[in-house]
Amino acid sequence: MANYLFIESRDPYGSNDTQFCCDLAKQLAQQGDAVTVFLVQNGVFPARAGARADELSALAKAGIEILADEFSLRERGIPTDRLTAGVKPAPLDVVIDRLADGCKAIWH
């Protein structure tokens, strides 16, 4: 089993290519790999409670850990207690933790 970290910096409202990241993450999780999706920059926009976030819902249903960069949330005025189900706020340090642990990291 491999560990994967997807760093999603794009939001589905301004980019039309976020779906493949979601699909790949789900496929890896389905084959038994440990997958985390870390939302950063505008990637945190769909993490707002009430936002259209079909992709995040699908990831959460697949049992994928979804983290949102606290700094990016704060920059965009998104309170950490108003995130969509399945998304947890986290410091950027998590990315360095995972890199140091040898996680396969993919920036998008």
Partner 1 sequence: MADKKTLTFALMDPPYENARSTTALRLINIAAKRGYDINVFAYEGSVFLAFAMQKPHPNAMHGRNVEEENHVLTKELVSSLMQEAMRNGGKIDWVNCGLCVDERGAVEAVEGVRRGSPADFLKMAATSDNTLVIVTRG
Nearer to partner 1, 37 or 40 (CB): 40
User: With binding defined as CB under 8 A, does residue 62 bind partner 1?
Assistant: no
User: With binding defined as CB under 8 A, does residue 77 bind partner 1?
Assistant: no
19-30 vs 54-61: helix axis angle to the nearest 10?
10
Alpha helices in the chain (DSSP H): 19-30, 54-61, 70-75, 93-100
User: With binding defined as CB under 8 A, does residue 13 bind partner 1?
Assistant: no
Using CB under 8 A, which of 41, 57, 62, 70 touches partner 1?
41
Nearer to partner 1, 85 or 99 (CB): 99
Token couple for 78:
């998104």
User: With binding defined as CB under 8 A, does residue 95 bind partner 1?
Assistant: yes
User: With binding defined as CB under 8 A, does residue 102 bind partner 1?
Assistant: yes
Closest distance between partner 1 and the C-beta of residue 71, in Å? 7
Shortest CA distance to 39 belongs to which of 1, 69, 80, 81? Answer: 69
Query: How far is the C-alpha of 37 from the C-alpha of 51, rounded, in Å?
Result: 18
Query: How far is the C-alpha of 60 from the C-alpha of 46, rounded, in Å?
Result: 13
User: With binding defined as CB under 8 A, does residue 24 bind partner 1?
Assistant: no
